[in-house]
Amino acid sequence: MTSHPTLRIPVARLKRMGAALTVVPLLALSGCGGSSLDDTPNADSTITIGAIWAQSGNYTPLGTDMANGFNLYLTTHGNKLGGHPVVVKTADEGDTDDTALAAARKLLDSDRVDVLVGTASAVPTVKIAPKATTLKIPFIGTGGRPSTIKDVSYIWHTSWLSRETGAAIAPYLAQTVKGPVYAIGPAYTGGYDQMGGFIDAFRKVGGKLANAEGDNPNPDAAFATTPYPVTPDFKPYLNKIRASGAKAVYTFYAGGPATKFVHAYRDAGLSDIPLYGAGFLTEGSQLNPDQEGDAATGIQTVLNYAATVPGQDNADFVQTFQAKYPTIPNLYNVTAWDAAALLDQAIAKAGPHPTGETINAAIGTITQINSPRGTWHFNAQHAPEQQYFLREVRKDGRVLSNVVIRNLTTNIAVSAPPAAK
């Protein structure tokens, strides 16, 4: 049985840290006055939400974390969003875009949901997006978004754009690492976007890669690729790093592959070469003693959340979360929590009988989400304009934790992917 150590974040300390940043909470945007009878939701106005959470495959832990974050918001808000009772239908994302599309089809065609939420992997959103758009059902993504989605009229992400994470740390690495950086990641759309976003931004600011020419014949990928979803053993790939003369390694892995990668990195004797990664490498249950455990110590990652982020919203969230779950809250909890918070605001503004169309229109009018990660708003790409943090895995008391070291650039210009694919 997986042991989840009981973890506590000192909430009081967070509150003190965040006191300076705490803003007077905005007046609740719920309701349009509430006096008109038309505005009173009735029994017919129950909102059905379709949630695609990974319940099998590599990203099962992420799916569980997202479901927990979303459901926590609902249970702490009387199972209502925007004043309407809510029914959540769930379906399993699985390991591929086909399994996720099947889940979306079931929710859209059979359950007739009003809103679609979910997916841990970025990849399936490409297939789900057009289907939701055609049916005029808003899709609130809680995992990454690939660069290939063009029509975002019904697509909103409370999470991140896949090319954004690596781009946020690139200037910092170009500045601080004294020498070339070796880039390695998984060969699937998520990996190409995550690593591509890093490499493009890294090169733009004069960074140099350590990867040998021809390490990967795919001209779109300058990084060393490993097979996805299964890389049985990372050591054959890691054995090339020493000879490359790299002064640091940057990588993107999440879930099961991340656990294997971190252990293989230590086993390959590379501990003297600093390991940097997209935050997913050490996020969520990854730091459990029976997963990465101490092997993750010292890894520095970039992400748009950490449980130690200062601010009143985060302090409140951490307290609420830990009253229910024995773990430290993570980004996946937060993106799903924010999806519920977003819908709470939007449904309240979507009229007495909200439909997919009116909810979608209402989302477009939301100016601010008070998220545990800090306040954010949607940019033109329907994704959060948000702060990124550099974090380091350290012992925080008895347990390992992603500790925020510094803020990274806020306005990340995410470069477009190469035109020819």
- Candidate residues 42, 134, 175, 218; the one interacting with other proteins per rule CB under 8 A: 218
Count other C-beta atoms under 10 Å from residue 151's C-beta.
9
Exposure pattern of 225-255 as b/e (b: 16+ CB <10 Å)?
bbebeebeebeebbebbeebebbbbbbbbbb
- Residue 106 near residue 91, CB atoms below 8 Å: yes
The residues with which 394 forms a beta bridge, in sequence order, are 401
Cα–Cα distance, 407 to 253 (Å, whole number): 22
Which residue type does 407 have?
N
The reply on whether position 255 binds other proteins by CB under 8 A is yes
Question: Least distance to other proteins from the beta carbon of 176, Å?
Answer: 23
With contact defined as beta carbons under 8 Å apart, do 11 and 319 qualify? Answer: yes
Identify the helix (H) or strand (E) that includes residue 259. helix 255-267
Q: Which is nearer to other proteins, 243 or 420 (CB)?
A: 243
Does 6 participate in binding other proteins (rule CB under 8 A)? no
**Where does this chain touch other proteins (CB under 8 A) — which range of 58-66, 76-84, 131-139, 348-356?**
58-66
Is residue 314 near other proteins by the rule CB under 8 A? no
- Tallying the residues shown for the chain, one arrives at 421
Site string (102-131) toward other proteins, x via CB under 8 A: ------------------------------
Chosen residue from 7, 49, 52, 95 binding other proteins by CB under 8 A: 95
Q: Which of 267, 357, 385, 392 binds other proteins (CB under 8 A)?
A: 267
Q: Which stretch binds other proteins (CB under 8 A): 9-17, 105-113, 210-218, 371-379?
A: 210-218
Cα-based angle 143, 282, 390 (whole degrees, multiple of 5): 85
Q: Are 351 and 302 in contact (CB under 8 A)?
A: no
Least distance CB 53 / other proteins (angstroms) = 11
Say whether residue 421 binds other proteins (CB under 8 A). Answer: no
Name which position in 133, 162, 189, 225 contacts other proteins (CB under 8 A): 225
Q: Is 232 in the site for other proteins (CB under 8 A)?
A: yes
Which of 270/390 has CB closer to other proteins? 270
Of the chain, the end-to-end C-alpha distance in Å amounts to 44
- Closest CB 70 distance from other proteins, rounded Å: 17
181-205 per-residue burial string, b: 16 or more CB within 10 A, e: under 16? bbbbbbbbbbbbbbbbbbbbbbeee
Q: Cβ closer to other proteins: 154 or 237?
A: 237
Contacting other proteins (CB under 8 A), which of 172, 198, 202, 237? 237
H or E element, residue 193: helix 189-204
Choose between 231 and 308: whose C-beta lies nearer to other proteins. 231
Check residue 227 for interaction with other proteins (CB under 8 A): yes
Residue 219 makes contact with other proteins by CB under 8 A: no
b/e 83-93 (16+ beta carbons within 10 angstroms → b): bbebebebbbb
Shorter beta-carbon distance to other proteins: residue 74 or 120: 120
Q: What x/- string results for residues 17 through 56 when contact with other proteins is judged by CB under 8 A? A: -------------------------------------xxx
Token digits of residue 184: 């390695």
How many other CB atoms are there within 10 angstroms of residue 270's CB atom?
18
Q: Which of 128, 268, 287, 328 binds other proteins (CB under 8 A)?
A: 268
> Quick one: 58 or 345, whose CB is closer to other proteins?
58
Residue 395, SS3 per DSSP: strand
- Interface residues with other proteins (CB under 8 A) are 1-2, 54-61, 63-64, 95, 187, 215-218, 224-227, 229-230, 232-233, 235-237, 239-240, 242-243, 255-257, 259-260, 263, 266-270, 285, 288, 290-293, 295
